[in-house]
Amino acid sequence: MTQINKPLKDQAVLYPGDKTDFADHYPGLFNGKHRWFDTLANFLFPARCLLCHDILPLATGSSLCSSCQEHYRAGGQICPQCEGFFRGTAPCSCLPEGSPLQALFTISLYDQNWRRLIHDLKYRNRRAAARPLGIWLAREIINQGYCTPDLVVPVPLHRLRKKERGYNQSALLAHSSALALNIPCDNLLVKDKPTRSQTAVSRCERHANIRGVFKCAAPPPPGTRVLLIDDVYSTGNTMKEAATVLSSRGARVFGAVIAYNPHIKSLQRSGFYAGLDQW
């Protein structure tokens, strides 16, 4: 397995209002006799709300300001089969046995604010947002008792897409989540075939677009509980295809994303918002 549970070169860009990447590269300045530097860094680079970019109070413990927090619905689980929302016990009778994806967890629904944040992360080089998002995802997974993974694995990009973008946003998220969960993060999956962006094809075409593009570079030990991380879950084709490859090698795969973008049919289905209100 290729361990990546260490500071990544991809995280070297410092976004205004986020000192965390700098702290990763120079940890000595934030410990012991150099702790004064932490105070100085908080003054020069105050933490900002991920959604509206307002400055957050010191030691707030949240990634959102009080105003954005009022409109935020805490994340929960989504059944990969019927897409029902729930916390705790699943309201559906769908069984994970036989499914490559055992379960799915999300921080929030994909609305206009989250769309802007994720687009900034993916396309506008706002890499520093990956760290608080990854830590937030890990914290919610722990608080809600979603799963107890042995390993974190990011959904990979093809090498040409990664070269074009400069980084894989899912790998940055996975790395930060793994550090917060205190477990390894490994690049077990490789995307060896270039594809069109899933956002550039219709929902009906997405399964064919992603079919057979992933390979397992190093199979995990049988029974390994893998936390598979991506940024957005929409039709689920990408994550399910990646989960299929891992589960075929004996892993039990639990998905986790930053935001869920449901299909209009799910929104229209009876009980959808009732399940959402229970979050």
* Predicted pLDDT at 202: 61
- What backbone torsions phi and psi does residue 250 show, to the nearest 5 degrees? 100, 0
Q: Does pLDDT of 227 surpass 80?
A: yes
Mean pLDDT score across all residues of the chain: 78
Q: Does pLDDT of 22 surpass 60?
A: no
Q: What is the mean pLDDT of residues 66-78?
A: 82
Are residues 47 and 182 located together in one domain of the fold? no
Are residues 171 and 248 located together in one domain of the fold? yes
Does a structural domain hold residue 4?
no
**152, β-bridge pairs:** 185, 227
End-of-domain residue from the set 27, 49, 66: 66
Are residues 145 and 60 located together in one domain of the fold? no
pTM: 0.79
Bridge-based pairing state of the strands 225-233 and 151-154: parallel
* Predicted pLDDT at 204: 66
Are residues 126 and 233 located together in one domain of the fold? yes
Distances (CA, A) of 213 to 99, 208, 240: 19, 10, 12
Six-digit token string for 244: 């299929």
**Per-residue pLDDT reduced to its tens digit, 167-223:** 999 999 999 999 999 999 999 999 987 766 656 556 666 666 678 789 999 889 999
Of 164, 175, 183, 184, residue with least CA distance to 128: 175
Domain that holds residue 56: 9-66
CA distance 69 to 179: 25
